[in-house]
Amino acid sequence: METDQVFLESVVKSLVDNADVVSVDRTVDEMGVLLTLKVDPTDMGQIIGRQGQTARAIRTLLRVVGAKNNSRVNLKIFEPEGSQRPRRDEATKEAAPKAAATEAAAPEVATPEAAAPVEEIEIDTSAVDDLKL
């Protein structure tokens, strides 16, 4: 096994609960090295992290390892069929009717023009007028 593959496997195994299911496949082509990571579906959230921060950090570390070995390393996280989240196109189809229903039920918000007139207050700025910045 190559150093980038061993590095990725050790990092991921330390993050997940089911370390025995972790596998890393390595393929080399004209674009560089592609590491495909396969983990247990219940561990996907731990690998991806909040807003993808953990996955982004792992990819950054792999770029450093690749630069040290004069190669471009990319990470693909394999998403199994039994994953927890719905596909992106399915999620947007479901979210559209919900958003329309929410907009219809929302009360009308007052605009600034409709608000009561605000009194203007005069502020004394003579103390800072002579400052040279």
List domains and CATH numbers for the chain.
3-77 (3.30.300.20)
pLDDT winner (highest mean) among 13-27, 71-85, 117-131 = 13-27
Predicted confidence at residue 118, as pLDDT, reads 65
pLDDT at 63 over 60: yes
Distance, CA of 131 to CA of 126 (rounded, Å): 10
For tokens 């947007």, the residue is: 92
Q: What percentage of the chain carries pLDDT values higher than 70?
A: 66
For tokens 């070995």, the residue is: 69
* Dihedral pair phi/psi, residue 46, rounded to 5°: -70, -35
More confident residue, 29 or 131: 29
Predicted confidence at residue 85, as pLDDT, reads 59
Q: Where are the alpha helices (DSSP H) in 69-116?
A: 88-105
